Structure 1
Amino acid sequence: MSSLTELTKSIQQGLGLAHKRDIAEVVGKLYGSHGLRGNPAPDAPASRTAERFSLHSHAERGNDVPVGDDCAAIPDGDGFLLLASEGYLNDFVASQPWFAGYCGVMVNVSDIYAMGGRPIAVVDAIWSDGAGQAKPILEGMATAAQVYGVPVVGGHSNLRNDRPQLSVAILGRAQKLLSSFAAKPEQQLLAAIDLRGHFREPYLWWDASTGAPPERLRQDLEILPTLAETGLCDAAKDISNAGVIGTLLMLLECSGLGGVIDINAIPRPSHIDLARWLRCFPSYGFVLSVDTHDTGDVIELFSLRGIACAAIGKTDDSGRLRLKAGDAEQLLWDLNSEALIGCGPNRQD
């Protein structure tokens, strides 16, 4: 097994975190770099708070919903509309067209559930060089829509492009939110991952979805809104291509926290190399920040569905994420000196 130093470096230098660092550049252009650091930029939207840009409700509740989570959350009546989208790399769509279409629905559905919601419908935008090139993409999307019970209700198509490209957006609704901005110091960090899958070689994609019983997949996802609505958890995020560690780093950044993670406590199949597992993108995987007295109940909910779930660390107010293995500890990221996605409170002011 790789040393903790080598594992830490591989995560720091991996493409997963590199892609997430791009978010800060985009956010800065949209909202103004000064606004992100706590002082509103001259042309910043008036709705942004001092420490984070937000969408304010016009209702009496005065909800303050931060931007930068798995979905945009728009206050609506007694709950929230959830809106998200995913775009896919050209080489992925070209080399894995059916799975790209499947992921277009699957990954968006995961984003909705990660925030305590339930999906309503998706729309897609597809480009291709002819109908033949689009066919497997659309077939994958149609399969996932049936598996997850989420209809494709419209979108955009262009069959006269020079290459296949795909993006998919989703609408959902939540009664109560799970959010990356809701973690608190001294909470337990949990990872819940469906280990009943396989790598889609040679990629870092852990597929526990295709071929699994659709009803089981849907009921497994229902755990997330149950956690939100019962008050067992307020903070969660779905594990993305940044891997379990990178996803936790984004959650901690949004909440203005730090923490320590025991990498050996992360659920994984016994035959899978740890270094590869820490960088993989699971089809069903969530990280959560939970009060200690609720941890057992949360783990049990996942366990009853056959989902591996374990406490893997603890939050603190340091702004520094450290990785631990036995008696060894390594600093992965210091958010006090360097943001990752640029959506958290500014710790330098």
Structure 2
Amino acid sequence: MVDITKMNETIRNFPGVTRKNAIHEVVDLFPTYDFKHVVAAEGEDAAVLECGNMCVLFAADGIMEKLMHSDPFLAGYYAVLVNVNDIAAMGGRPLGMVDVMSFKEGTIGSEILKGMKAGVEKFNVPLVGGHTHPDCNYDSIEISIIGSVKKSDVLLSSTAKAGDDIVFVIDLDGRFPESVPYSYDSTSFKPNELVQAQMEAVCTVAERHLAHACKDMSNPGHVGTLAMMLESSDKGAIVDVTKILVPEGVDEYKWAVTYYGCAFVFACDPEHSQEIIDIFSEVSCAGAVVGKVDDSKILKITDGEDTGVLFDFTKDIVTGVRVKR
């Protein structure tokens, strides 16, 4: 039985959620709506730049300092993974990456590079350039990535509609690395072909126009990521937490604030929910309808008996980003 109050507190107070609060302070300084070739940017996993009947997808991610110190190999690997996931979430296919790497001593730099190389091979995305600071007083790795998608097939995270089903798809076959206890690794030990097929599954959803919105589940966890989608879509929802799939033996509160190797949230017409779930079942991901989008601007969670307000977007923020349409 899930304690709704405890689940609310776990998600609301999780640093993966609270550290997103500052995003709007940056976004507000750089509005994009006067740039006609920018199809979408604010509130999205990647910027969407129009280029004829295609769109260029443009994203960047940096790795938290804690991971750099605990496991520089995984820091390099995840620097690739998180960027590939951002492109996939938009319905796109990655084209190439560049990096900026800084380190204090060669051992850490070497481990970062080994991790990046493993990521390049796993996801079959080339690293085509970048910049290295070999003599810094700190260690960091940031990667920027570009991808492409047909303009007609772009998946945004800010376009969920009232009445949509909320579908979670997650690869449940993984493990928690000792060095990163809140990261669920479901990719590093899998065949490259399977991991790449999981990313391609999102493209299939996009090309069949099965979803109104999509977002890859990132640092805020499963419902935390959904909250970002709803906030940018100016919507609310109710989620039945008992319907969220959890690996056997994993605590549901820890699972709610986990970073997953392969996981996406979709908002879609109910008639397409099962097809999305079936597409991902073919690439070893489990899926379930866990809730419904509404116009309330309030995200509620329930166990079928108790219900609690997680976020009221009329007064709460996750990122604070309000997408202008």
Shorter-chain TM-score category? over 0.9
Contact kept, 8 Å, 1:82 with 1:173, in 2: the verdict is: yes
The sequence identity of aligned pairs, in percent, is 32
Q: CA deviation at 1:164?
A: 1.4
Alpha carbons of 1:120 and 1:146: their partners in 2 closer, same or farther (altered >3 Å)?
same
Q: CA deviation at 1:199?
A: 1.0
Q: CA deviation at 1:312?
A: 0.3
Contact kept, 8 Å, 2:39 with 2:49, in 1: the verdict is: no
- 1:298 paired with 2:276, answer yes
Contact kept, 8 Å, 1:56 with 1:65, in 2: the verdict is: no
Gap regions ≥5 residues in structure 2? none
How many residues align? The count is 321
Partners of 1:263 and 1:322 in 2: CA distance = 10
Aligned to 2:168: 191
Partners of 1:100 and 1:256 in 2: CA distance = 34
Partners of 1:325 and 1:267 in 2: CA distance = 13
Partners of 2:274 and 2:2 in 1: CA distance = 31
Deviations 1:193-221 (A, max 9, x none): 00110112352100001111000100111
Aligned to 1:88: 63
1:102 aligned to 77, 81, 84, which one? 77
Partners of 1:88 and 1:303 in 2: CA distance = 30
Give the residue type in structure 2 aligned to 1:199. Answer: F
Q: Which structure 1 residue ranges, 4+ long, deviate > 4 Å from structure 2?
A: none
Partners of 1:109 and 1:199 in 2: CA distance = 20
Give 1 or 2 for the bigger CA radius of gyration. Answer: 1
- 1:232 paired with 2:245, answer no
Contact kept, 8 Å, 2:48 with 2:56, in 1: the verdict is: yes
Give the residue type in structure 2 aligned to 1:56. Answer: K
Contact kept, 8 Å, 2:168 with 2:263, in 1: the verdict is: yes
2:188 aligned to 210, 225, 230, which one? 210
Aligned to 1:12: 12
**What is the DSSP-based 3-state SS (H/G/I as helix, E as strand, rest coil) of the residue aligned with 1:199?**
coil
Q: CA deviation at 1:66?
A: 4.2
Q: CA deviation at 1:91?
A: 2.3
Q: CA deviation at 1:170?
A: 0.5
Contact kept, 8 Å, 2:94 with 2:148, in 1: the verdict is: yes
TM-score normalised per structure 1: 0.89
Aligned to 2:30: 30
Deviations 1:65-87 (A, max 9, x none): 24220001101111210010011
Contact kept, 8 Å, 1:177 with 1:234, in 2: the verdict is: no
Gap regions ≥5 residues in structure 1? 32-44, 49-54, 58-62
Partners of 2:294 and 2:21 in 1: CA distance = 23
Q: CA deviation at 1:267?
A: 1.3
Q: CA deviation at 1:234?
A: 2.8
Deviations 1:18-56 (A, max 9, x none): 11112122223434xxxxxxxxxxxxx6x35xxxxxx52
